């Protein structure tokens, strides 16, 4: 949450900062601002989107600056609460991502010393602390100030007349982009991909000093070797490429994502695959949001194909529990690799003697540096706040890990591997039928409440379908295991409450038909997702979304793509800001 950018080099900083900020609006977009050393620190900020603010800015010629796009935590969206924040003299400017938990105490203490505050934010105490400790050395002042701060932070700091940025982090992401005669800072590599694909990651507790020609990192005063990573994405992948929204582009990229993931993992032999699932006892999966739903599918897949027991925990809830873990094998599923609750859970598992495998999309992210081992999803950059292709990529990781480790039924293994290879074309068939889904979305957009139901491996698909619809269309939607809907939610059924039923030709099929009949008896319209030529479902449903046949264990991928399209076109019909839904941010980096 919140996007930080910074630039120091030989070019004018302002256009670079604005370009980088636009790339980070998925992290927060209720206000934004920049600070440029233009013969003195000049700050422009407002409760606007980046493009709107850019139209009102004068042209600044300074060659060093910082910027920020905000997702509000302390204080509502407003001009005074927007970043950057400055000290009393206006010589020190700071942008910040994270939460300072002791800011009230610090603010009272600083106010007694004569410091004047203008915002409601926790961030504003940071430049005032730096001002308190500044004695000619900016990095020393930042280091001393941070010893007084409790909570999480990623910060970039400027001081007038000093051709350098000072950066630091704790429990919030921050990455340095390495250029030739210029360097960058951002919350996410996507911000500076137009300029460089070389990145350096800062660890918790470290402080970096960045000039146009040099990056120095220190940990507790000791110099740390700077390690570069090459970013595997390119700037073109982070563009809309002719699509109206990133969400639609990313939905349509899923056949490619599946092919890329398969190409990556088909090269791994049984002997070289050291993520061994059997023989470890129960497996733990930790995740939040869409990644949690992917983990739930993973649970069904591991238990069905390998008879390995799996427990799935919402990371934020797991962090409140007190039982002893022991030597657990845990999968931490996080698209960004920076999800605060998941990172905290990973640290706990490792601290109690467990082994952690990160499933993430971002090379060099914090999760990869905490984990014992990392499995990359290879989905490429995902810009839309609503996750689509990264969910599919996470499922592909779980499918590959499970199918590749089947030892007894080799015919079953061969059949599923063949089905995996056919998935890109099957997903493309769903995408080719989006005109039908678009028509159904027009119907769905008229309602205020919707239920999604599924059974077995498609129960998590119902949860994910409901999440997508509520995220982008603002329709209240709930996902339920079909057998549970009669334990309470039936009270809400009726002609104004449609139900979307995800039906699979597995051992849950007859039970799903029974559930649909019970729902129809309560007058609720039913939109069914089912294989083509399923006449039993066709006779029951009011509207039908047909999908191609796949092995039932793989059906979540096919079914989810159809629900992603349904959510997208429903939001489009309602005129919602699809890529930037209100109150949400892509990477949840605060607890």
Q: Which residues does the annotation mark as catalytic?
A: 2, 586
Residue of 454, 471, 476 lying closest to 463 (CA atoms): 454
Residue 505: C-alpha distances to residues 387, 396, 457, 532 (Å): 27, 20, 11, 11
Q: How many residues does the chain have?
A: 591
What is the C-alpha radius of gyration for the chain, rounded to an integer number of angstroms?
A: 25
Phi-psi group of 60: left, alpha or beta (phi > 0 → left; psi -120 to 50 → alpha; rest → beta): beta
Handedness of CA 291, 292, 295, 300 (dihedral sign): negative
Residue of 523, 534, 542, 540 lying closest to 440 (CA atoms): 542
Contact between 245 and 578 (Cβ < 8 Å): yes
Token pair in block for residue 235: 């700037």
Can you tell me the distance from the alpha carbon of 526 to that of 498, in angstroms, rounded to the nearest whole number?
6
Can you tell me the distance from the alpha carbon of 140 to that of 128, in angstroms, rounded to the nearest whole number?
14
Can you tell me the distance from the alpha carbon of 262 to that of 498, in angstroms, rounded to the nearest whole number?
37
Q: What are the residues whose beta carbons fall under 8 Å from the beta carbon of 127, sequence distance 6 or more?
A: 85, 86, 87, 92, 93, 94, 157
Residue found by looking up tokens 């400790």 in the block: 133
Residue of 188, 247, 587, 563 lying closest to 389 (CA atoms): 247
Contact between 224 and 218 (Cβ < 8 Å): yes
- Axis-axis angle for helices 555-574, 410-432 (nearest 10): 20
Q: Is the backbone peptide bond immediately before 84 cis, with ω within 30 degrees of 0?
A: yes
Residue of 180, 376, 176 lying closest to 275 (CA atoms): 376
Q: Which residues pair with 453 in a beta bridge?
A: 480, 501
Contact between 471 and 500 (Cβ < 8 Å): no
3-class secondary-structure state, position 188: coil
- Axis-axis angle for helices 138-146, 125-133 (nearest 10): 120
Chain-centroid distance of CA 116 in Å reads 36
Is 298 exposed, middle or buried (CB count within 10 Å of its CB: 0-12, 13-18, 19+)? buried
Give the helix/strand (H/E) hosting 464: helix 459-473
């Amino acid at each position: 949450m919140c996007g930080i950018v910074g630039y120091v080099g030989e070019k004018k900083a302002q256009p670079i900062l604005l370009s980088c900020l636009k790339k980070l609006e998925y992290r927060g977009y209720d206000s934004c601002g920049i600070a440029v050393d233009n013969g003195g620190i000049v700050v422009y900020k407002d409760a606007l989107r980046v493009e709107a603010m850019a139209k009102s800015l004068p042209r600044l010629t300074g060659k060093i600056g910082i910027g920020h796009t905000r997702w509000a935590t302390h204080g509502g969206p407003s001009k005074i609460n927007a970043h950057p924040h400055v000290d009393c003299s206006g010589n020190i400017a700071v942008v910040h991502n994270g939460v300072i938990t002791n800011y009230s105490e610090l603010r009272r203490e600083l106010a007694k010393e004569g410091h004047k505050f203008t915002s409601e934010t926790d961030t504003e105490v940071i430049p005032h602390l730096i001002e308190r400790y500044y004695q000619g050395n900016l990095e020393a002042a930042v280091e001393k100030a941070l010893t007084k701060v409790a909570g999480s932070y990623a910060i970039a700091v400027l001081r007038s007349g000093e051709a350098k940025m000072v950066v630091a982090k704790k429990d919030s992401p921050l990455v340095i982009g390495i250029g030739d005669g210029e360097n960058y800072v951002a919350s996410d590599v996507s911000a500076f991909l137009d300029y460089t694909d070389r990145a350096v990651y800062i660890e918790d507790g470290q402080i970096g000093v960045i000039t146009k020609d040099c990056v120095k990192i220190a940990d507790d005063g000791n110099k740390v070797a700077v390690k570069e990573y090459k970013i595997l994405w390119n700037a073109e992948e982070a563009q809309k490429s002719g699509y109206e929204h990133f969400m639609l582009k990313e939905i349509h990229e899923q056949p490619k994502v599946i092919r890329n993931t398969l190409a990556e993992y088909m090269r791994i032999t049984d002997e070289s695959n050291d993520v061994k699932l059997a023989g470890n006892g129960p497996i733990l999966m930790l995740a939040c949001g869409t990644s949690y739903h992917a983990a739930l599918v993973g649970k069904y897949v591991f238990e069905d194909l390998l008879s390995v027991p799996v427990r799935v925990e919402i990371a934020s809830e797991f962090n409140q529990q007190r039982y002893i873990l022991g030597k657990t094998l845990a999968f931490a599923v996080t698209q960004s690799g920076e999800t605060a609750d998941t990172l905290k859970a990973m640290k706990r598992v490792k601290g109690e003697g467990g082994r952690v495998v990160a499933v993430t999309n971002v090379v060099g992210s914090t999760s990869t540096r905490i984990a014992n081992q990392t499995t990359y999803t290879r989905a490429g950059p995902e810009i839309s706040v609503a996750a689509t292709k990264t969910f599919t990529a996470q499922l592909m990781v779980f499918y590959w890990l499970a199918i590749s480790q089947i030892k007894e039924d080799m015919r079953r293994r061969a059949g599923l591997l063949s089905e995996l290879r056919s998935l890109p074309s099957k997903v493309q068939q769903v995408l080719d039928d989006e005109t039908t889904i678009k028509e159904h979305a027009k119907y769905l957009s008229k309602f205020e409440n919707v239920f999604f139901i599924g059974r077995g491996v498609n129960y998590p698909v119902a949860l994910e379908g409901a999440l997508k619809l509520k995220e982008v269309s603002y329709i209240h939607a709930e996902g339920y295991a079909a057998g549970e809907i009669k334990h309470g939610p039936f009270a809400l059924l009726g002609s104004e409450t449609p139900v979307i039923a995800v039906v699979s030709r597995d051992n849950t099929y007859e039970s799903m038909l029974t559930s649909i009949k019970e729902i129809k008896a309560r007058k609720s319209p039913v939109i069914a997702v089912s294989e083509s030529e399923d006449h039993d479902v066709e006779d029951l449903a009011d509207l039908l979304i047909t999908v191609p046949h796949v092995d039932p264990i793989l059906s979540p991928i096919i079914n989810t793509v159809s629900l992603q399209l349904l959510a997208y076109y429903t939001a489009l019909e309602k005129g919602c800001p699809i890529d930037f839904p209100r109150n949400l941010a892509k990477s949840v980096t605060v607890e």
